[in-house]
Structure 1
Amino acid sequence: MTHCNNRAHHRPKKRIRAAQDTAENGRLEKQMMKTPKLLPWYARKAGVSIERATVLWHKAVREATAETGWVGTSEYWGEAMNSFLRLLEEERDSFCAPHVTPFVRTQNRIWRLPLTAMEDMFAAFSANWQRHDGTSRKAA
Structure 2
Amino acid sequence: MKAPKMLPWIAKRAGIGEDLALKLWRRAAGEAALIVGNHDSSDFFRLSVERFVSLVEEEAGRCPLTGATVTWMWRHQARMASLSLIAAESTYRLWRQNWENFVNTQKKAA
Matched to 2:53, the amino acid is L
Count of aligned positions: 67
TM-score normalised to the size of structure 1? 0.45
Shift of 1:49: 0.5
- Normalising by the residue count of structure 2, what TM-score does the alignment of the two structures yield? 0.57
- Identity among equivalent positions (%) equals 34
**Alpha-carbon distance in 2 for matches of 1:89, 1:43:** 10
Verify: 1:74 aligned to 2:42, yes or no: yes
RCO (CA 8 Å, sep 6+): is it higher in 1 or 2? 2
Task: Quote how far apart the aligned CAs of 1:98 are.
Answer: 8.0
Of Structure 1 and Structure 2, the greater helix share is in: 2
Whichever structure has more strand as a proportion of its residues is 1
Structure 2: segments with no counterpart, 5+ residues: 68-110
Task: Work out which of the residue numbers 16, 23, 28 in structure 2 matches 1:60.
Answer: 28
**Using the alignment, how far apart are the partners of 2:9 and 2:20 within structure 1?**
13
Where structure 1 has 5 or more consecutive residues not aligned to the other structure, the ranges are: 1-32, 100-140
In the TM superposition, what is the alpha-carbon distance from 1:96 to its structure 2 partner?
A: 3.0
Higher CA-based Rg: 1
1:46 to partner: Cα distance: 0.5
Q: CA RMSD in A?
A: 1.7
